[in-house]
Structures are given as C-alpha cells and as structure tokens.
Structure 1
Amino acid sequence: MSNVKRKFDLLVGYLLLIIISIFCLYPIVWIVLSSFRTGTSLYSARVIPTQFTIAHYVTLFEKFPFATWYGNTLKIAILSMIFSTIFTLITAYIFSKFRFVGRNATMHGMLILGLFPGFMSMIAIYILLSQLNLLNTHMAIILTTVAGAPLGFLFSKNFFDTLPSSVMEAARIDGAGHVTIFARIVLPLARPLIVYTSLLSFAGAFTDFIFAQLVLRTPDKQTLAVGLYNMINDRFGNAFTVFAAGSVLIAVPITLLFIFMQRHLIEGLTAGADK
C-alpha cells in the first residue's frame, strides 16, 4: 500500500511540475514566436505564426540605436558585477571572521537598511548625483549599484561561517596575512558563492529599469530596458513585435551566462565536497 501511495505522490508531483512548466514557458514561447511574426501586433489567434520574418531584428538596429543600448547595458552590468561581487564578499568575510567593536550594531543596521526598497532612496540619490554632476552618466548607475551591493552580505556571511577556521589559523601561523588568506585560501573555497553573487549582480544590473530611467536622459546613454520602454511608450508607438525581438536579444547574454556559470557552480560544489 505504501508503494502505491509513493507512486501516486510521485505522479502528482510530476503533474504539478509539468503544469508549472507550461505556465512558465508559454509566455517565453509567445514572445519568441512573436518576434518572428509579421506585422506590429503581439496579439494573434495562432501561437505559431503562419509566416516568419527577421525584419523586426533588422529594424532594431536600423531604426533604433539598439547596438548602443546593448553596449551601454553590458558595460554597466559587467563593471557592476565585478565590483559588487568584490565588495559583497569582502564585507561578508569581515563580518564572518573578524570581531571588533560595533560589529553587531553595524550588521543589524545594514540588515535593516537592506529591507527597505531601493526606490525609497531615489530622490536623495538623484539630488546627490546632481550635486556631483553625475546625472546622465553610466558612472552614476555603477556607483549606486556597487554602493548598495554590500547590504546583501548575509547570504555570503552564512557561507563563510561554514568554512573551517582551522585552515585560516594554520595559514596565519605560517606567516600569511589577511589579504593572502582571503585571496589564496578563502576565495578558492568560495567559488560557488562567487558564481552565485556574480550572476545575481549581473542580472540585477542588466535588467535594471527604474533607476536607469531616472538618471539616463539622452538616447546615446540609455540602457536596453529604458530604450525598449521608450520605444513603445511613445504616443504613436506600436512596434510591439520589434519590442519582442529586443526582449529575445536581451535574454541571450543572461541565459548564456547562467549556463556557463552553472557548470562552474557544480564543479565548485563537488570540489568542496572532495576536500
């Protein structure tokens, strides 16, 4: 009887996964197919277009500065990913392995600040950037993203808490300094954490819209999210299939990055298990 119940539970689980997958994949398939559909409307009685075209992808680069938007977004996302990962890991390592006056109060303060939505501080940040003459610059977005990244240190700190302190103490006895221990011992052990933090930072900066819309004004400075939004937000904008083509191209680097990093994530986890 228990065997029958186990098979029934397994069947129900698979059915739920199939239903969830359909709900998740259907919008993606619709957008991808719409990018190859003729006309300008996303609505169609058929999911699969009767006629395919790549004209919308060509229009992206001929009628709109899509290549410029793409380059701006990649620059912001890559630089934000690098520095956000570095500052987040350093912050988490300090709180995990060091004891100093005001440590708990600082951690609690950062955790509380991290609970507030980022858009609550946008007016203050906008005024500060205006005084620093950084409006309509990519540096404004990069600095703001990197400055706020350490507020999410808790996940990284919990990971560093699991690392054995005996290894670091042995290295310290051999004469290794804090920088050497962090760079040559801690970071190789924390490869899965580095992959996770980097991927999260890249995706967040790559898809950011609200703050980029607030800061960036001219088309040559805009990112993909802002450019595509303005494309269809215009009073006479009806390039919805072109918008779908742009959405497909936006998903390409994030998908490739996740696939590439997933392999390193699995390798890092298994290497840590072997050790």
Structure 2
Amino acid sequence: MTNRKSNYILTTLKYVILIAIAVCCIYPALWVVLSSLRPGTSLYSPTLIPETFTLAHYRELFNNPSFQYGKWYLNTLKIATLTMLFSTILVTLSMYALSRFRFKSRKSMLTSMLILGMFPGFMSMIAIFILMLQLNLLDTHAALILVYSAGSVLGGFVVKGYYDTIPRSLDEAARIDGASHMQVFLKIMLPLSKPILTYVALTQFTGVWGDFIFARLVLRSKENWTLAVGMWDLVASYQNSNFTLFAAGAVLIAIPITLLFIFLQRFLVQGLTSGASKG
C-alpha cells in the first residue's frame, strides 16, 4: 500500500513538472501569435487575449515601402534551400568516405575536425570577411551559401556514426557482385541513409533560416538582407516601439520551420538516435 501511494505521488509530481514545462514553452509562442493580431503597436497588454483581432500588421509587412519583408523572405528561402542541398551532399560524401575507407591521415583529419568544431563559428568571422572581400563576394548570397555549406562538414560526426552502424557485409557483398564504390554508395547506402539525410537537411535549413551574425556581417544592401537582418532593422528603426508588427513577422518566419518539423519529425528522431549509437 505504501509503495502504491509513493508511486502515485511520484507520477503526479512528474505530470506537474511536465505541465509546468509545457506552459513555459507554449505561453511565449502563444503570446507572440496573439500580439501579432492585436491592434496598435504597444509591447505591453494587460490581457493575453486581445479584445479585438486584426490582420493589419500582416498586410503592413508586405505593403509598407520602408522595408522589404517579402524580398527578405525570398532571399532567406533561397539561401536556406541551396545551403541545405549543398550541405547535405558535402556532409554525406565526406562522412561516408571517412567511415568506410581507410587512408593515410584519416585519424588526423578526424581529430582536426573535432578540435575545430569545439570553437564557436564567430571566432573565424574576421578571417572569412577578409577572404570574402578578396574574392569580391561581399554583399552576395553566394558568400553565405559557400560558407554555410563548407562549415557544415565540421558537424558531420553524427552522419559518420550512422554509417559506422551499417554492416560492412553489405559493401563486401556488392563488391563481390562487381559493383563500384559509387554504385555501392548510390544503390545501397543512400536508400539506407534516408533518416540521417533528413536530419542533416532539416538542421541545416533551420540553422541558416535563423542566422543573424554572419548574414549581418556580409550583407550590406537592404534588398539582399535575410529575414533575421531585416527584422532586426525593423525593430531598431522603430526604436522598439512597433512590437506587434515584429510579432507578425516572427509568426510568418516560424511557419516553414514548424511545417518541416511536423512532417519530418519521425525521420528526425530516427536519424539522430541512429547516428548517436556508435562513433
């Protein structure tokens, strides 16, 4: 009887903690959504639910000539999509080679990648800025895509771990049947890599979608800005007074990420757990 009572108390405590965490996560997002539908520009409101609802802020995002929200949205979508494609290809090919082949300096390469991955990316921004300046790539989307795609390889150890879990007997059987290395990769490894490829593609897309620091450093002209830079300028130019307009822009920014997570959640969890089982 005592054990049953203690189990009941423990279960109740777990549910209370989970409910508290859920409220802490949901309330800010709900507050932003409702703020985007609230008339006026005030940051403060005595009630969570506005007395009247309006879509004027969403219309102003695309109709106000002082900023170019639609252009920024398309710029960010282009950069994130291309970076996702190039990053997935680079990470998949490089980590497959490091996982399945043995060659000189392989361990040194892995160690170097691990050490470099420990340092925050913004430490190299001055060097990257000078390099982009010398290559005449400043204020271009190509600079962002190039740096984002190349830098993604340093974080590919999860992909390598996933390939390490695939039995080598599959490779050997295919090689006995006369398949080349490329045929083994395309016809055997890629179909088995759908979960980890989905994980890599999704994480790369979301990382680029919300990046501000490097985009602010490289992009100079207003028509080339991404959403993060444009939304920062929106708040700064209004001196933090037009929060409801900022909230409307934030809601639209969250839509693609939310949809991707909803449709790809199963592959995301499967890919992350599979790649973490063996290093």
Instruction: Work out whether the TM-score is over 0.5.
Output: yes
CA drift at 1:179:
1.3
Structure 1 residue 235, shift from structure 2 partner: 6.1
Paired residue for 1:207?
210
Give the structure-1-normalised TM-score.
Answer: 0.94
Q: Distance in 2 between matches of 1:212 and 1:21?
A: 32
| Structure 1 residues 181 and 46: alpha-carbon distance in aligned structure 2, compared to 1, 3 A threshold | same
CA contact (8 A) 2:76 2:227 kept: yes
**Alpha-carbon distance between aligned partners in 2 of 1:151 and 1:68, rounded to the nearest angstrom:** 31
Which amino acid is 1:10 matched to?
T
Flag the 1:189–1:127 CA change in 2: closer, same or farther, 3 A. same
Residues 41 and 240, structure 1, Cα contact 8 Å, conserved in 2? yes
1:273 matched to which residue of 2?
A: none
Deviation at 1:8, TM superposition (A): 2.7
> How far apart are the structure 2 equivalents of 1:6 and 1:237?
50
Q: Which residue of 2 aligns with 1:11?
A: 12
Deviation at 1:65, TM superposition (A): 1.0
Deviates more, 1:258-267 or 1:220-229: 258-267
Moved over 6 A (4+): 266-269
Q: Is the 8 A contact 1:77 1:205 kept in 2?
A: yes
1:136 alignment partner in structure 2? 139
Deviation at 1:164, TM superposition (A): 0.7
Is the Cα–Cα contact under 8 Å of residues 35 and 241 in structure 1 kept in the other structure? yes
Q: Which whole-Å CA distance do the structure 1 matches of 2:38 and 2:26 have between them?
A: 18
Distance 1:60 1:265 in 2: 32
Matched residues, percent identical?
52
- Tell whether the 8 Å contact from 2:196 to 2:267 is kept in structure 1 after alignment: no
Are 2:199 and 2:271, in contact at CA under 8 Å, matched by a contact in 1?
Answer: no
Q: Which residue of 1 aligns with 2:166?
A: 163
Shift in Å, 1:183 = 1.4
1:220 aligned counterpart, secondary structure: helix
Q: Which whole-Å deviations, capped at 9, do the CAs of 1:77-128 have from their partners, x for residues lacking one?
A: 0000111111111121111111111011100001110111000000000000
Q: How many residues align?
A: 269
Are the counterparts in 2 of residues 191 and 265 from structure 1 also a CA contact under 8 Å?
no
Alpha-carbon distance between aligned partners in 2 of 1:99 and 1:12, rounded to the nearest angstrom = 52
1:116-170 CA distances to partner (integer Å, 9 max, x unpaired)?
Answer: 1000000000000011110000000000000100101111111111111101110
Q: Equivalent residue for 2:56? A: 55
CA distance in 1, matches of 2:244, 2:115: 42
2:86 is matched with which residue? 83
Q: Which residue of 1 aligns with 2:219?
A: 216
- For 1:203, the aligned partner's letter is T
**Tell me, which stretches of 5 or more residues in structure 1 are unaligned?**
270-275
Tell me which amino acid in the other structure corresponds to 1:112: I
Aligned residue number for residue 243 of structure 1:
246
User: What is aligned with 1:25?
Assistant: 26
Rounded Cα–Cα distance in structure 1 between residues aligned with 2:251 and 2:189: 38
Q: What secondary structure sits across from 1:2 in the alignment?
A: helix
1:260/1:92 Cα in 2 relative to 1: closer, same or farther (>3 Å)? same
Whole-Å Cα distance in 1 between the matches of residues 115 and 8 of structure 2? Answer: 46
Normalising by structure 2, report the TM-score: 0.92
